[in-house]
């Protein structure tokens, strides 16, 4: 078995069948699909079982809800492939994706190959990287929330690279994919970039994730531990990550976030941190909201305008 595709599934009944059908249409001979139904309360589990009855390449594991990282880990433990790919149940793998990714990782000997991807509006996400890449630069981009790079999806992994990287606490439901990739990159893997779009990412779909200071403290603790072997190299970017998350709290009008947690980063803010992020932090939260909220809405407007213009 060459490739195992692992799909964590939780309450995505409107999307999961199409996700499967796009996978089963791949022109590649040696792959399996491991779908982990993570305690879905809608018909997602039933749809997974129906698809497994139609195609023997699909295996379904039903588990009590344990979170997306645990679902991916369960899928990995059950998988048999030399290489691993992750697909979210509301996304799609584009035609020819497996063949391209398998050929590239075989030819290069990379530990992970990273492709480009489209969102549902037809926008291409491409960092411009080609060939071998410095893994430290990818870590910096992830910490700075420059997410034009694929995180887990749109990537093929040599399965050994994933050892010890799938232990993020179940309470962390947002950014857990970034955490997992950073854990991989801290091993200094050989990373290779290609310019082929292989993935369709449905951006901004509704979910029940909510900002919580308790969860963000936990996330920061795990992230700090993960970065510890190279802390001097990434500490300033860890602070930038915290500034970016603080802006999310401001945008959600959780005014007390700075007083209750983020004031502690003040001594670590430096002139090399982006000016816009420093301004957003130093302004009183309600004034900062006007800046942050306007910026975020403007980005959405520009994206939609580009899509309409292209059409």
Q: 130 and 245 in one domain?
A: no
Closest among 143, 49, 51, 157 to 102, alpha carbons compared = 157
Q: Over 90: is that where the pLDDT of 81 sits?
A: yes
The partner residues of 33 in beta bridges, in order of sequence, read 5, 58
Q: Name, in order, each residue with C-beta under 8 angstroms of 220's C-beta and a sequence gap of 6 or more.
A: 238, 242
Domain final residue pick, 138, 172, 201: 201
What's the domain count of the chain? 2
CATH code of the domain covering residue 117: 3.90.550.10
pLDDT of residue 299: 65
Structural domain of residue 47, as residue ranges?
A: 3-201
Residues 189 and 142 in one domain: yes
Domain termination residue (choose one: 201, 236, 254)? 201
Residues 112, 35 within the same domain: yes
Q: Is the pLDDT of residue 289 over 60?
A: yes
Domain membership flag for residue 206: no
Q: Is residue 52 part of a domain?
A: yes
> Quick check: 310 pLDDT over 60?
no
pLDDT digits (tens, 9 = 90+) for 141-157: 999 988 788 899 999 99
Tokens 């602070």: give the residue: 239
Is 208 inside any structural domain?
no
% of residues, the chain, pLDDT over 90: 83
Domain closes at, from 181, 201, 221 = 201
Q: What is the pLDDT of residue 146?
A: 82
pLDDT of residue 186: 97
Q: Is the pLDDT of residue 166 over 70?
A: yes
Render pLDDT for 56-70 as a digit per residue (tens, 0 to 9): 999 999 999 999 999
pLDDT digits (tens, 9 = 90+) for 98-111: 999 999 999 999 99
Q: Is residue 303 part of a domain?
A: yes
- The reported pTM is 0.91
What does residue 53 show for φ and ψ, rounded to 5 degrees? -70, -30
- Looking at the fold, whether 56 and 156 belong to one and the same domain comes out as yes
Tell me, yes or no, whether 207 lies in a domain.
Answer: no
């Amino acid at each position: 078995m060459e490739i195992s595709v692992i799909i964590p599934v939780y309450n995505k009944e409107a999307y999961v069948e199409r996700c499967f059908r796009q996978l089963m249409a791949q022109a590649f001979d040696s792959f399996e699909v491991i779908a982990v139904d993570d305690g879905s309360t809608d018909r997602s589990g039933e749809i997974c079982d129906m698809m497994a009855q139609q195609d023997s390449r699909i295996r379904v594991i039903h588990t009590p809800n344990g979170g997306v990282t645990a679902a991916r880990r369960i899928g990995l433990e059950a998988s048999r492939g030399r290489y691993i790919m992750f697909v979210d149940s509301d996304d799609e793998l584009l035609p020819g994706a497996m063949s391209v990714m398998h050929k590239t990782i075989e030819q290069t000997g990379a530990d992970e190959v990273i492709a480009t991807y489209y969102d549902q509006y037809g926008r291409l996400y491409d960092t411009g990287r080609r060939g071998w890449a410095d893994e430290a630069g990818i870590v910096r981009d992830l910490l700075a929330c420059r997410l034009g790079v694929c995180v887990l999806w749109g990537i093929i992994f040599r399965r050994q690279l994933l050892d010890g990287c799938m232990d993020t606490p179940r309470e962390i439901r947002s950014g857990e994919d970034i955490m997992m990739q950073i854990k991989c990159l801290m091993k200094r893997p050989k990373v290779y970039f290609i310019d082929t779009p292989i993935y369709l990412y449905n951006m901004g779909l509704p979910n029940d994730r909510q900002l919580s200071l308790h969860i963000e403290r936990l996330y920061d603790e795990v992230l700090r531990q993960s970065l510890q072997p190279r802390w001097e190299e990434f500490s300033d970017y860890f602070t930038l990550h915290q500034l970016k998350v603080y802006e999310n709290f401001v945008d959600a009008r959780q005014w007390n976030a700075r007083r209750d947690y983020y004031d502690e980063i003040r001594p670590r803010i430096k002139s090399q941190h982006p000016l816009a992020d420093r301004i957003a932090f130093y302004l009183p939260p309600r004034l900062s909201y006007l800046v942050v909220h306007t910026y975020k809405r403007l980005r959405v407007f520009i994206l939609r305008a580009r899509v309409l213009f292209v059409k």
